Amino acid sequence: MHPPPSLPAHLLDSLAPRRSASDALICGRFAPSPTGSLHLGNLQTALASFLQVRRRQGIWRLRIDDLDTPRTKPGAIKAIQEDLCWLGLEWDGPVILQSQHRGWYYSWLSWLRREGLLFPCRCSRRDLAGLARYPGTCRQGDRGWGWQQGRLPSWRLRVPNHDPYGSGDVVLRRADGFVAYQLATVLDDLRCGITDVVRGEDLREAEAAQRSVFAVLQAPAPTFHYAPLVMDAQGEKLSKRDQSTGLKALIDQGCDALDVIGQLAFGLGLVPHGTRCSVQELLDR
Ligand SMILES: [Zn+2]
């Protein structure tokens, strides 16, 4: 067993100061991808996260996960902000754009690589199909089929075998050169001092991978909370098509912000069906 690497001072300075246990400042965030307008599922998660931190006088940040540039839709970043404001979900500080942190993520990748914490992996999606987690194929520099074909590698984190989270070796740099979501999100959560992450139940699987990354960076992971998926009035899970309904469709049906907040709060089990309420009323409850 190697001792844990000491983290680089010049990179550590860019992270939020570590909190002591007595420091009770709560900080949450909403981090949508700008691939289109927010749908009800996104908005319900945003409301859950907002209420979770604001009830404890915490800070709520808006971060745009726009690293995957080809999928970014023009106008989506502005539309996200407008939708949140219309609902009364106001964030603190400037909007954080992940695309502006690219160089910083790559500095961390270089450091991780120099420390021997990453290894190149040329397994394809098909090579790994049906496996619950990465089996460590390329860990020892295995020169299997993918290597013979000269495929570009992704870079995986060498997660210790005794890792309690069971994530397997997490991809931190994708084969197409993009910084992987799991690294960017962990670094940004550290940079902003995020203490509480609320996200949809469907993202539970990402938690193990992120916990492994926090562990390698010797940083405490935030508390992860999961918001229920969007349900209809009968308590049934909405179909994919209905879930993708955005605010515009609701406004066209004659809904105002109070109707929509009531609907989202109902989805979170906070109010009876058909309630009209504002964000402030939910906070005062
Ligand atoms: Zn591999």
pLDDT tens digits for range 240-267: 555 557 888 888 889 999 999 999 999 9
Contacts for 9-14 with beta carbons within 8 Å, 24 or more apart? 11/107, 11/108, 11/111, 14/104, 14/191
pLDDT tens digits for range 53-94: 999 999 999 999 999 888 889 999 999 999 999 999 999 999
CA of 153 to the centre of ligand 1 (A): 8
Q: Backbone phi, then psi, for 51, in 5-degree steps?
A: -65, -40
Do strands 96-97 and 59-64 pair parallel, antiparallel, or not at all (unpaired)? parallel
Taking a 5 Å cut-off on Cβ, the residues next to ion ligand 1 are 121, 123, 137-138
pLDDT tens digits for range 184-225: 999 999 999 999 999 988 888 899 999 999 999 999 999 999
Q: What does the alpha-carbon distance between residue 168 and residue 62 come to, in Å, rounded to a whole number?
A: 30
CA of 155 to the centre of ligand 1 (A): 9
- Name all domains of the chain by residue range, CATH numbers in brackets: 25-99+183-284 (3.40.50.620), 103-173 (no CATH)
CA of 138 to the centre of ligand 1 (A): 4
CA dihedral 127, 129, 132, 135 (to 10 degrees): -10
Do strands 196-200 and 118-121 pair parallel, antiparallel, or not at all (unpaired)? unpaired
Percent over 70 (pLDDT), the chain: 88
CA of 2 to the centre of ligand 1 (A): 22
CA of 119 to the centre of ligand 1 (A): 9
* 45: number of Cβ within 10 Å: 29
CA of 148 to the centre of ligand 1 (A): 13
Contact assessment for residue 200 and residue 30, using Cβ atoms and an 8 Å cutoff? no
